[in-house]
Structure 1
Amino acid sequence: MVAPTLLGGLLAAALVPFTHAAAGGRPDIKAAPFHPGRAFPASAPRTKTCAVKAGTNGSDDSAAILQAFHSCNNGGTVVLDKTYTICNPLDLTFLNAVDVALTGTVNFCDDIDHWLPRTFKYTFQISSSMWKFGGKDVNIYGNGVGTLNGNGQKWWDRFASNATLERPILFVTDDSLAHSLIYSHPPLMNSHPPHLESQERPLKKASKQWFNLIANSTDVLISDINIKVGSTSSNPAKNTDGWDTYRSDGIVIQNSVINNGDDCVSFKPNSTNIVVQNLVCNGSHGISVGSLGQYIGTFDVVENLYVYNTSMSNASDGARIKVWPGMDTPFQPNLSGGGGSGYVKNVTYDTFHNDNNDNAITIDQCYGQKNQTICNQYPVSFSRQSNMTISDIYFRNFDGTVSSKNDPRVGSLVCSSPSSMALITSQKCVNINASKINVKAPSGKNPQWLCVNLDTGDQELEISS
């Protein structure tokens, strides 16, 4: 499979290194080596500059930041080169032809009770945000020093005793159309990724929940980002996804380092024509399709994904596909679902290095439900049929050694309904392909794979030790 072809497109997002461009200029970032099938549009030169003056003693800078975006919209550059504090929500989805030079630090007030009634709300998985970016022809970049600091510690500590606490996402791209929004280059990373040229990249840290949500957007390019999270108390940082895509098309995420505690990248419902390449992920739950099929009456599509050149370490999973069963399943206090429909189609994971991951490859077509009998029953029930199908999946060129957790098992591919069941009206897991898989168990025993209800189409799973 070559890089997928896009269906259409409009915005691009990327935080990009100043060091790759002429001093003071917008960096020139390309999607490479793969792209979604068309070039991202070029932006015209900007003709005015709005430098935001920071308040003193951590006072709220949100009004000054908003004014700068209004003043420099339609052809200007907003400069955020100081230390700023945001204590009130910022809706920046009106942007057109604007650059953002984020070379300072943006902090968010950590007053939980102040924020809870003020955040922007999203119905999907009860999520919210403190600020959101959107519009047309937007470029956001730094020079290796720009930082977004979510100040998540108080939120993680309260979440430990209140599992339904609504924690905001650090950065949301919402309703972005036509052109490129480029995040880039904050700095600092202790581990130098072997296949990336530079260790210097922009920093996002201490998000309260997901770090990034790309929603309702098209043509978004993200490059050279450093994400890191770590709790200073006994309460872990939960649900700290690196990127989540939702109802978006034509996205590229590349050349970044992610140290977190949940999905490195997660393709949520209606994510299409996406390239993820050259990522170093540590401590995550993998690069994941899903979860999908969570809501009854909705139709979820994830199609045409190409994940290339990934280094995944100390994760629960490497390459992962997760789909809810055909019945309501209470999984966590703030996460339940099942019974939705849709499909996953044409997904490729190519060149994937595993280091101490529990599973190199995971397909879970009954996410949140551990009873395989129930999983077999509900996806094919005439009364509550789930049409959540998985097809045309390709795993290629996997290597490395998994953790000792499941030794000698190195992966799990479990589909929901056996092909021999008489009630089946359509196959649920079709044409699953694995080739050049050379993943080892730490004990040195022959690697074992758990494969249940798997249809490999016309091909055999080629798994070597």
Structure 2
Amino acid sequence: MTKTGSLCTVTPSGSKDDSPALMDAFKQCGQNGQIEVTQGDYTIAKVMDVLNLKNCDISIRGKLTWNDDIQYWLKNSVGVTYASRSTAFRLGGENFTLLGHGQALFFGNGQKWYDQNRGNSNQNGRPISLTLWKAKNVWIDGITWRQPQFWHTFVAHSENITMTNLDMNATSSTQWSTVNTDGFDSWNSKDIVIKNWIVTCGDDCISIKGNSSNIHVRNVTCYESGAMCIGSLGNPTNIPDFVDNVLFEDITAVHSSNAAWIKTYPGIGHVRNITFRNIHIVDVNQPIYVSPCIYSYSNCDASRLKISDVSWENVTGTSRYNVAVGVYCSKQTPCTGFKFKDIDIRPKDGGKAKILCSNMNSDSGLACTGTCPVGWKQQLSGNA
């Protein structure tokens, strides 16, 4: 690393670990400075945790490869509180940019993680690739991810975050699935813009979790994913979770599990003022889905987490099976203010789609063909 005035320039060392040079750059130029990570191959063998950035522009044009010392990362990745998750790379502070110019590549050696996990659990210590933590006024642009260890990005306790032109792909080449390689998750954050993303991830593409508000997601294409999701929320069940004011628009979901959906535990809090607009789907298992009792599919009618004022507009394309919509709301706290307009979802193998609805307002504009059974599953394995 070399420093000229307020500019720190990092070049590849050819060693087994370039993280000390990067951390040195963050230390010397992370406040009122610039950091240039030049083209070339960098190895990251240690956690990078930088929470005091201020008025800093970070430019990355190289390939950053996190090494495959799984035991190191399991022991040392930085905890981020939510659901015992942790991260390999955390940035915080205010007024900073992280720009990849379409050249930056974050490579997580994910296949090693997928294989050792053997399709099992989230595995505590398995690190999120990039976390924004207590960050304010941030722009991230032009970065490509391949084979992340776990989630690609996590935004927590942050506000006024813009993330544009990102390309993400987690795909296993063996018998073992990637397991929970979300594209994006928010938590306790507000005022977020996500625009122009391409994501292949095998789990939630964009997931809005508890205490998130004022989020605009536009022009995102998701493959092999859960696409646009509110949740999960309401766990622990005694702590309120809130999500307000989210707009998903101009979204494409291809060969995915879900498209435009809301999943909560039987907890407390609310989901309010959500819009899914201009959603095109191709071969999606359960395109529109709402559940108050995700994963356990029990105690569904006890949920007091109110879901209201949700619109689905111009949702078109093909479902994998014969269910286009499966909505089950808690009997104790029925869904209100649901609105559906221009829904045209057709089973890919022909026939008429079923629209199953329970405990929601009758003036939604949706022509329900039957009731949705309690504990309706997130995934179907065939026609209903």
TM-score, scaled to structure 1:
0.75
> Take 1:301 and 1:55, find their aligned partners in 2: how far apart are those partners?
46
> Take 1:128 and 1:283, find their aligned partners in 2: how far apart are those partners?
24
Q: What is the correspondence of 1:62-461 to structure 2 with a 5 Å cutoff?
A: 62-81=19-38, 82-160=40-118, 163=121, 165-166=123-124, 167-177=126-136, 179=137, 181-185=138-142, 202-325=143-266, 340-371=267-298, 374-376=299-301, 379=302, 386-403=303-320, 406-407=321-322, 409-417=323-331, 424=332, 427-456=333-362, 458-461=363-366
Contact 1:47–1:75 (CA<8 Å) still a contact in 2? Answer: no
Alpha carbons of 1:238 and 1:164: their partners in 2 closer, same or farther (altered >3 Å)?
A: closer
Contact 1:218–1:249 (CA<8 Å) still a contact in 2? Answer: yes
TM-score, scaled to structure 2:
0.91
> Take 1:443 and 1:71, find their aligned partners in 2: how far apart are those partners?
60
Q: Deviation per CA, 1:378-421: give whole Å up to 9, x if none.
A: x1xxxxxx421100010001111111xx32x222111121xxxx
Contact 2:122–2:180 (CA<8 Å) still a contact in 1? Answer: no
Q: Deviation per CA, 1:34-71: give whole Å up to 9, x if none.
A: xxxxxxxxxxxx973211132224x1111111111121
> Take 2:297 and 2:368, find their aligned partners in 1: how far apart are those partners?
26
> Take 2:184 and 2:341, find their aligned partners in 1: how far apart are those partners?
27
> Take 1:303 and 1:271, find their aligned partners in 2: how far apart are those partners?
7
> Take 1:93 and 1:367, find their aligned partners in 2: how far apart are those partners?
34
Runs of 4+ in 1 over 4 A off after TM superposition: none
Contact 2:334–2:360 (CA<8 Å) still a contact in 1? Answer: no
The alpha carbon displacement at 1:446 in A equals: 2.1
What number of residue pairs does the alignment pair up?
A: 364
Taking only the aligned residue pairs, the percentage that are identical comes to 29
Find the residue that maps to 2:25 and give its secondary structure.
Answer: helix
Q: Mark the runs of 5 or more structure 1 residues left unpaired by the alignment.
A: 1-45, 186-201, 326-339, 380-385, 418-423
Q: Which residue does 2:378 correspond to in 1? A: none
Alpha carbons of 1:108 and 1:396: their partners in 2 closer, same or farther (altered >3 Å)?
A: same
Find the residue that maps to 2:135 and give its secondary structure.
Answer: coil
> Take 1:260 and 1:72, find their aligned partners in 2: how far apart are those partners?
34
The alpha carbon displacement at 1:286 in A equals: 2.1
Q: Mark the runs of 5 or more structure 2 residues left unpaired by the alignment.
A: 370-384
Alpha carbons of 1:47 and 1:396: their partners in 2 closer, same or farther (altered >3 Å)?
A: farther
> Take 1:443 and 1:56, find their aligned partners in 2: how far apart are those partners?
54
> Take 1:387 and 1:463, find their aligned partners in 2: how far apart are those partners?
24
Bigger fraction of residues in strand:
2
In angstroms, what is the RMSD of aligned CA positions?
Answer: 1.8
The alpha carbon displacement at 1:164 in A equals: 5.7
Find the residue that maps to 1:443 and give its secondary structure.
Answer: coil
> Take 1:123 and 1:130, find their aligned partners in 2: how far apart are those partners?
14
> Take 1:399 and 1:342, find their aligned partners in 2: how far apart are those partners?
31
